[in-house]
């Protein structure tokens, strides 16, 4: 028994170092996942080292100071104590600035949300932008050392200013999406999480451990238990993002799905009261806020009955 | 003949059960709620008079048991649960090995670990955290420290670190892995503000 932990920790450090070194391939990740899944002992040893190594990212604050002083990229390494002092001054300045902002905004974590039918773009000081779709809520923690977003509800499109020293991480539904230079979409529903990559690359993982690298066009759909990755054409991806223009584009989608999508944007909910009608294929572009226009078409094209009941609209044969 | 399929199925079941796939959120929970307790756990474990290697094993076993339990249901509050796991583990060991008297294990109260008090401040201010990491860094061996600084502050690749320090990438690996392990021991295993 004695010394077993020594061996496991040494192995965990080798994995973590291998990952830190770069050139991390799918095969590497698969091998790490396999090693982690061998035992809890492996898993906790790796988590512990990884957490400590991430904490050392705080040292990046020292770098921030260096950049702001406009020092040449290849400047000689400053004496450690000087850099520490400089960084502490910077942090102190930030703390004062932060304290002044506290009057308006408690804590460094900020929340943004949209109501049903709403759409809003949040811009951050680092140049990153997040566009929130209908009925969406995020929390953002953007500090000098970390950029973290929690998608607590809904759907958002991320345009991330890549900075290797300050990873941009999105947490949603127990998953972790790490930006590697990127435009991507994250959407969470009651039971699934979808990540669609438009540009660059992102890594989507469970809370930790198992993760997959997405390439542009990849769409990952994850439940608590599993994750499936499919490929979409640029055309399909554009349709997926059409809400940014205030419209929804459908190409052979069942009527039930179209209704469910429109319901995300409107308080008045569409109800398809006929299983046959629910399967009818819909092709077309609809405004997210124009339920009436949609029902007019349904009535005219599919010859369905549309009954307005106030908070809901029932569609039947 | 009749035994073979039976045996095969059994071993398949076992391997299925033993494949560890952490539940969603477990990693974050572990890092946020459990790791900050390590300094106090270490203090507790050291009182058993066991050697460093034994203590590391015990700590590791505590983490494994806590995660196995939390995989099914997150304990709440966390701290008393973790210490109960620690205590039970020590009792088990003491019974089995006849090394440590059970009484020595029992006096949790003597340690004065307040179970109701919040753990170490989870929202440590950025500058305190930086200072803490900096203090840990200062205690690394000089070459390992330099490698970490080049990596984390200057953002150099391993290849660049190797050429800057005039060493091979293999030696960089050696410094980095040493640093990772030492940083974990210092940042989690020691109370904040610990001086060498």
Reported as a single tens digit per residue, the pLDDT across A235-260 is: 888 888 888 888 888 878 889 999 99
User: Over 70: is that where the pLDDT of B64 sits?
Assistant: yes
**Cα–Cα distance, B108 to B47 (Å, whole number):** 10
User: Over 60: is that where the pLDDT of B194 sits?
Assistant: no
Q: Are strands A312-316 and A269-272 parallel, antiparallel or unpaired?
A: parallel
In a domain, A241, yes or no: no
Average pLDDT over residues A47-56: 92
User: Over 50: is that where the pLDDT of B15 sits?
Assistant: no
CATH of the domain at A250: 3.55.50.30
Contact residues, chain B, for A17 at CB < 8 Å: 173, 176-177, 180
**Cα–Cα distance, B194 to A285 (Å, whole number):** 63
Topology, domain B22-111: Rna Polymerase Sigma Factor; Chain: A (1.10.1740)
Residue A90 or residue B32, greater confidence: B32
User: Over 80: is that where the pLDDT of A210 sits?
Assistant: no
ipTM attached to this prediction: 0.83
C-beta separation of B62 from B41 below 8 A: yes
**Cα–Cα distance, B66 to B116 (Å, whole number):** 19
pLDDT, residue A102, reads 35
Radius of gyration of chain A (CA): 24
Q: Return mean pLDDT, chain B.
A: 78
User: Over 70: is that where the pLDDT of A204 sits?
Assistant: yes
Residue after which a domain boundary falls, among A183, A204, A236 = A236
pLDDT, residue A68, reads 39
**Cα–Cα distance, A127 to B165 (Å, whole number):** 34
Q: Return mean pLDDT, chain A.
A: 80
User: Over 70: is that where the pLDDT of B118 sits?
Assistant: no
Return the structure tokens found at B111: 């340690």
What confidence tens digit (pLDDT) does each residue in A12-24 have?
Answer: 999 999 989 987 7
Contact B177 A14 (CB under 8 A): yes
Average pLDDT over residues A46-59: 90
Contact A5 B57 (CB under 8 A): yes
Nearest-CA neighbor of A278 among A297, A295, A260, A300?
A260
Contact A59 B152 (CB under 8 A): yes
Confidence band for B187, pLDDT divided at 50, 70 and 90:
very high
pLDDT, residue A117, reads 84
Contact residues, chain A, for B150 at CB < 8 Å: 77
Contact B153 A59 (CB under 8 A): yes
Question: Which residue out of A2, A47, A148 would a mutagenesis test of the B interface target, given it has the greatest number of B Cβ atoms within 10 Å?
Answer: A47
Question: Which residue out of B142, B177, B179, B190 would a mutagenesis test of the A interface target, given it has the greatest number of A Cβ atoms within 10 Å?
Answer: B177
Q: Are residues A52 and A75 in the same domain?
A: yes
Average pLDDT over residues B175-194: 89
Residue after which a domain boundary falls, among A107, A136, A170 = A107
Q: Are residues A218 and A121 in the same domain?
A: yes
Cα nearest neighbour of B130 on chain A: A58
Q: Are residues A254 and A232 in the same domain?
A: no
Neighbours of B55 (CB within 10 A): 19
Average pLDDT over residues A192-208: 82
The contacts of residue A217 (CB under 8 Å, 6+ apart) are A197, A231, A232, A233, A234, A237
CATH of the domain at A151: 2.60.120.1440
**Cα–Cα distance, A43 to A25 (Å, whole number):** 20
C-beta separation of B17 from A38 below 8 A: no
Contact residues, chain A, for B138 at CB < 8 Å: 80
pLDDT, residue A93, reads 44
Q: Are residues A75 and A159 in the same domain?
A: no
User: Over 80: is that where the pLDDT of A79 sits?
Assistant: no
**Cα–Cα distance, A286 to B17 (Å, whole number):** 49
Question: E strands, chain A, where?
Answer: 109-113, 120-123, 129-132, 137-142, 147-160, 168-172, 175-188, 193-206, 211-214, 218-222, 227-231, 247-254, 269-272, 281-287, 305-308, 312-316
Strand partners, A284: A250
What confidence tens digit (pLDDT) does each residue in A281-299 have?
Answer: 887 778 888 888 888 878 8
Contact A60 B21 (CB under 8 A): no
Average pLDDT over residues A217-225: 83
Nearest-CA neighbor of A278 among A249, A298, A250, A300?
A298
Q: What torsion, rounded to 10 degrees, do the Cα atoms B54, B55, B57, B60 define?
A: 180
Residue B34 or residue A83, greater confidence: B34
pLDDT, residue B107, reads 55
CA distance A218 to chain B (A): 22
Helix ranges (H only) for A103-199 are none
In a domain, A26, yes or no: yes
Average pLDDT over residues A67-95: 44
User: Over 60: is that where the pLDDT of B180 sits?
Assistant: yes
Contact B27 A87 (CB under 8 A): no
pLDDT, residue A63, reads 56
In a domain, A98, yes or no: yes
Residue A303 exposed, middle or buried by CB count within 10 Å (0-12, 13-18, 19+) = exposed
Q: Are residues A42 and A93 in the same domain?
A: yes
**Cα–Cα distance, A29 to A41 (Å, whole number):** 18
Q: CA–CA distance from B146 to each of A1, A15, B137 (Å)? A: 35, 21, 9
What confidence tens digit (pLDDT) does each residue in B160-179 have?
Answer: 999 999 999 999 999 999 99
Q: CA–CA distance from B150 to each of A62, A149, B82, B143 (Å)? A: 11, 28, 37, 11
User: Over 60: is that where the pLDDT of A208 sits?
Assistant: no
Q: Which CATH class is domain B126-189?
A: mainly alpha
What confidence tens digit (pLDDT) does each residue in B76-87 have?
Answer: 889 999 999 998
Q: Are residues A99 and A22 in the same domain?
A: yes
Domain ranges in chain B? 22-111, 126-189
pLDDT, residue A70, reads 35
How many Å from the N-terminal Cα to the C-terminal Cα in chain A?
A: 71
Q: Are residues A231 and A136 in the same domain?
A: yes
Residue after which a domain boundary falls, among A236, A255, A282 = A236
Give the percent of chain A with pLDDT over 90.
21
Nearest-CA neighbor of A197 among A158, A142, A152, A140?
A158
The SS3 assignment for A91 reads helix
Question: Which residue out of A7, A17, A24, A225 would a mutagenesis test of the B interface target, given it has the greatest number of B Cβ atoms within 10 Å?
Answer: A17
pLDDT, residue B14, reads 38
Residue A277 or residue B111, greater confidence: A277
Confidence band for B115, pLDDT divided at 50, 70 and 90:
low
**Cα–Cα distance, A179 to A211 (Å, whole number):** 13
pLDDT, residue A98, reads 42
pLDDT, residue A290, reads 84
Strand partners, A176: A171, A205
Q: Are residues A123 and A209 in the same domain?
A: yes
Task: Domain of residue A11: give its range.
Answer: 1-107
Q: Are residues A74 and A13 in the same domain?
A: yes
Q: Are residues A165 and A231 in the same domain?
A: yes
pLDDT, residue B11, reads 38
User: Over 60: is that where the pLDDT of B111 sits?
Assistant: no
Contact A17 B59 (CB under 8 A): no
Q: CA–CA distance from A156 to each of A108, A129, A172, A204 (Å)? A: 21, 10, 11, 16
Give the percent of chain A with pLDDT over 70.
82
**Cα–Cα distance, B14 to B16 (Å, whole number):** 5
Structural domains counted in chain A? 3
User: Over 80: is that where the pLDDT of B12 sits?
Assistant: no
Strand partners, A220: A195, A229
Neighbours of A70 (CB within 10 A): 7
The contacts of residue B7 (CB under 8 Å, 6+ apart) are none
Q: Are residues A102 and A114 in the same domain?
A: no
């Amino acid at each position: 028994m004695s010394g077993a932990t020594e061996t496991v920790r040494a192995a965990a450090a080798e994995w973590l170092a291998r990952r830190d070194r770069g050139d991390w391939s799918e095969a590497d990740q698969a091998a790490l996942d396999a090693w982690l899944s061998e035992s809890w002992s492996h898993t906790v040893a790796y988590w512990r080292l990884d957490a400590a190594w991430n904490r050392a990212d705080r040292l990046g604050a020292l770098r921030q100071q260096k950049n702001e002083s406009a020092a040449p990229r290849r400047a000689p390494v400053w004496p450690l104590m000087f850099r520490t002092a400089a960084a502490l001054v910077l942090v102190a300045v930030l703390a004062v600035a932060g304290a002044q902002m506290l009057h308006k905004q408690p804590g460094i974590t900020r929340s943004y949300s949209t109501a049903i039918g709403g759409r809003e773009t949040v811009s951050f000081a680092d140049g990153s932008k997040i566009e929130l779709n209908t009925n969406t809520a995020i929390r953002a923690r953007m500090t000098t050392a970390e950029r973290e977003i929690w998608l607590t509800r809904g759907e958002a499109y991320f345009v991330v200013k890549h900075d290797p020293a300050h990873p941009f991480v999105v947490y949603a539904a127990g998953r972790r999406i790490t930006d590697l230079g990127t435009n991507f979409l994250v959407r969470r529903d009651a039971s699934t999480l979808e990540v669609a990559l438009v540009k660059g690359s992102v890594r989507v993982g469970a809370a930790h451990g198992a993760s997959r690298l997405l390439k542009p066009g990849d769409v990952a759909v994850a439940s608590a238990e599993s994750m499936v990755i499919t490929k979409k054409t640029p055309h399909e991806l554009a349709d997926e993002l059409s809400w940014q223009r205030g419209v929804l584009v459908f190409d052979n989608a069942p009527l039930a799905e179209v209704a469910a999508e429109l319901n995300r944007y409107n308080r008045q909910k569409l109800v398809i009261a006929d299983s046959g009608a629910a399967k009818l294929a819909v092709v077309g572009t609809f405004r997210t806020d124009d339920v009436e226009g949609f029902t007019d078409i349904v009535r005219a094209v599919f010859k369905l009955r549309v009954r307005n009941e106030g908070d809901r609209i029932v569609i039947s044969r | 003949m009749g035994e073979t399929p039976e045996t095969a199925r059994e071993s398949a079941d076992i391997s299925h059960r033993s494949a560890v796939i952490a539940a969603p959120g477990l990693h974050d929970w572990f890092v946020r709620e459990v790791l900050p307790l390590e300094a106090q756990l270490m203090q507790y474990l050291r009182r058993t008079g066991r050697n460093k290697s034994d203590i590391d094993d015990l700590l590791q076993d505590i983490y494994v048991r806590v995660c196995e339990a939390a995989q099914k249901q997150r304990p709440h509050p966390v701290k008393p649960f973790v210490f109960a796991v620690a205590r039970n583990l020590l009792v088990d060991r003491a019974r089995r090995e006849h090394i440590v008297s059970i009484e020595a294990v029992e006096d949790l109260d003597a340690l004065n670990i307040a179970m109701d008090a919040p753990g170490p401040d989870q929202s440590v201010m950025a500058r305190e955290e930086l200072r803490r990491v900096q203090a840990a860094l200062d205690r690394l061996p000089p070459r390992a420290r330099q490698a970490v600084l080049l990596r984390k502050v200057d953002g150099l690749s391993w290849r660049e670190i190797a050429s800057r320090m005039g060493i091979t990438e293999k030696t960089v690996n050696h410094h980095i892995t040493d640093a990772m392990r030492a940083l974990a021991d210092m940042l989690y295993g020691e109370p904040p503000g610990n001086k060498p």
